[in-house]
Chain A
Amino acid sequence: MSEKKKQLIISISREYGAGGHLIAQILAEKLGLELVDADSIARYFADNHNFNYDEVMKYSGKPFNRIIHRTIQGHTSTLEENLSRMQFDYLREKAANGDSFVIVGRCSETVLEDYDCMIAFFILADEEDKVKRVMEREGLNEYDARHTARAGTWNHKSYHNYYCKGKWGDSRLYDVCINSSRFGPEKTADILENYINEYLNS
């Protein structure tokens, strides 16, 4: 009889271009866990809740204009907020089902804070490394990549800080904050895997 695996949730928050998604992918693969990211969530919503995949991708995980937004008795006019809250519910439901997974973003370190089995990492990187990664990944010139990296990081921050009391990037929200520029994403993933294994063996 195989022993039932301990539930494990890895939350990865990241600066734009810091390699957080790549680290999440490596960890998911090494630990044999499901990777939950914008794409997989959009697919889930499209397959199970009538949503259009492209629309979910367009409005998910994004901040929105607070001026053209209204909330009435818990209902909101903003598609970004409606989708975000549904995604938070989806994560809570998944965690409550006992699922183990690696989740990228979605304010997961706060949404799933009640789960002791959740380990939260925050991945940052040096500016030049972020720009280089964005240039390679998105085929942009240096100027555009720098702008995209800054705007992307600002988006992550605004999105998080609208829904959560704790501030994005505040070390107190995470188990480990790590600069991926020091050793590169692969080695950073190894370090984080060791941390996770220590937790699992404790």
Chain B
Amino acid sequence: MNISQVMALLIFVVMFILIITEVVERYQATLLAAFATIIVVFLLCMHSTKIVWDVISIRDLVHGEFWYAPGHGTAENGGINWATIIFLAGMMVMVEAMARSGFFRFICLALAKLVHYKPTRLLVIFMLMSAALSMFIDSITVVLFLASVTVELTNLLGMDPIPMIIAEIFCSNLGGAATMCGDPPNIIIGTELGYSFGDFLVNTGVISLAALVLAVLFFYFSLRKQLVVHNTAPGEAGHIEYPDPKSAIKDRKGFFRSWTIFAIAVLLLVTHSQTGLTVATIGVLIAAITLVFAENQAMKLLKTIDYRTLLFFVGLFVVVGGLEQTGLLSVIAGVIAKLSGGNIYLTVAIILWISAICSGFVDNIPFAATMVPIIESLSASLGIPLSTLAWTLSIGTDFGGNATPIGASANVVGISIAAKNGHLISWSKYCRYAIPATIITVATGMVMIYLIHC
């Protein structure tokens, strides 16, 4: 390893330690590390201002292909992935407007009413809804609302909400794996490697669907005996006053507007390889439509954009750019290639299980961002189709995040909501269900990748 590789690695490790220990906020950790990468790695070790400009990638924004790419999606050239950042910002605006209108709470309550508040049906319908919504909306928002409604309803029914919340978290992460916009690692993989929404849907989508079926069966059979109503004797269910779904709607006009904009967003995403609109353009369009129709709420919506998360991404991409530009990731790819001996089955197994295990304990976003150049390098050196490795990485990072309370953002939010309502989900309570279910789903993913792609 040369000095620039050592420095890039050192900065990356320090950044990771700062993120894990939360000594500073994670966006501060990545920005500090990005600054150090630019000064120490690019300027002092590599003496190259050109690399700085390449990694910052601001030029991408003025390329027509960044916004409109008919045919297939365009691949980013490393460095800051502005498409991911712009898309996430756009979706944040839309999701905030939807949340304010009562959209999510309405869906939760309406579906609960549809299954007549029967515990096992409630479990299944909430698991399915969690997965379906997370295909298009960030899992944090989905779990935030779903867990709150679950606590509310289970309190009325006198049930323990903890198993249901764990199941919902689990399915939210499975749903996120199904599409390009469901989970940040997928957005990074898709935009970096030039895959479309449709590509994800027919590859990771199919695997996620199979995993979802198994997860529903797993949780159903594990929990059905626990889902007992204590508040009512048989036949007295009518005495409980359930919240009316309509009461969730805070702003009728905004509610219907939210449905319409959400439908447009889904349509634009599903058809983006046909229309040629990139995810960056879709992000801008969705935010623009939301803001125009939000009238006097527009400024408030803009203020709710989570700039810290966006800055986190900016810093992260620069640091990963440092690892890539110094050739360190090619070295790591070489080690994986050597370990697998060029065997496609072994390569897939290594990437899948390493991604899954790492994602169970560390933030899967920096992990995925780091792994993308590695799988590119592996694909080139071993002749394994890049798409096979891309789907493997996506399934590994997304499904693996389910294993522990800290594996994914949705897990943290679900546990926090439960705790604030008096239901403490300890590591042992969480892992009792999540680890077996994660092993089942990751193994399913491996078998399906073998059958379909190897």
Contact = CB atoms under 8 A, between A and B. Distances in A.
Interface of A: 45, 49-52, 55, 59, 66-73, 75-77, 79, 82-83, 86
A45 B422 contact: yes
Given A50-B423, A66-B21, 11 more contacts: A51-B422, A52-B422, A72-B140, A73-B140, A73-B306, A75-B415, A75-B417, A77-B406, A77-B412, A77-B416, A82-B419
Interface string B169-188: 00000000000000000000
12 contacts: A50-B155, A50-B421, A52-B422, A52-B424, A68-B404, A70-B406, A70-B412, A71-B412, A75-B415, A75-B416, A77-B406, A77-B412
Contacts of B140: 72-73
Given A50-B155, A76-B412, A79-B426, A71 B22 contact: yes
B350 to A, nearest CB: 25
B405 interface: yes
A79 B422 CA distance: 10
A72 B409 contact: yes
Contacts of A55: 424
Given A66-B21, A69-B22, A79 B412 contact: no
Contacts of A76: 412, 416
Interface string B424-438: 111100000000000
A59 B409 CA distance: 22
B20 interface: yes
B420 A86 contact: yes
Contacts of B421: 49-50
Contacts of B417: 75
Contacts of B363: 70
A76 B417 CA distance: 9
B411 interface: yes
A83 B309 CA distance: 25
Given A66-B22, A69-B22, A71-B22, A79 B424 contact: yes
B405 A67 contact: no
Contacts of B420: 82, 86
A40 to B, nearest CB: 17
Interface string B392-410: 0000000000001110010
B20 A67 contact: yes
Contacts of A45: 422
Contacts of A77: 405-406, 411-412, 415-416
Residues of B in contact with A, size category: 20 to 34
B17 to A, nearest CB: 9
Contacts of A82: 415-416, 419-420, 424
Contacts of A73: 140, 306, 309, 409, 413
A50 B405 contact: no
Contacts of B405: 68, 70, 77
Residue of A51, A66, A72 with highest tally of chain B CB at under 10 A: A72
A49 B415 CA distance: 16
Interface string B360-397: 01010000000000000000000000000000000000
Given A50-B155, A59-B424, A79 B419 contact: yes
A172 to B, nearest CB: 23
Contact of B413 (A50, A52, A69, A72): A72
Interface string B243-260: 000000000000000000
Contact of B422 (A49, A59, A70, A75): A49
B422 A50 contact: yes
A59 B416 CA distance: 14
Contacts of B413: 72-73, 75
A76 B420 CA distance: 10
Contacts of B424: 51-52, 55, 59, 79, 82-83
B162 to A, nearest CB: 11
7 residue pairs, one from A and one from B, having the closest CB atoms: A50-B422, A75-B416, A82-B419, A70-B406, A77-B412, A51-B422, A72-B412
A87 to B, nearest CB: 12
A75 B409 CA distance: 9
A92 to B, nearest CB: 16
Contacts of B416: 75-77, 82
Given A76-B412, A77-B411, A77-B416, A68 B422 contact: no
Contacts of A51: 422, 424
B21 A68 contact: no
Interface in B91-140: 140
A76 B406 CA distance: 9
B156 to A, nearest CB: 12
Contacts of A66: 20-22
Contacts of A69: 22, 406
Contacts of B423: 50
Contacts of B412: 70-72, 75-77
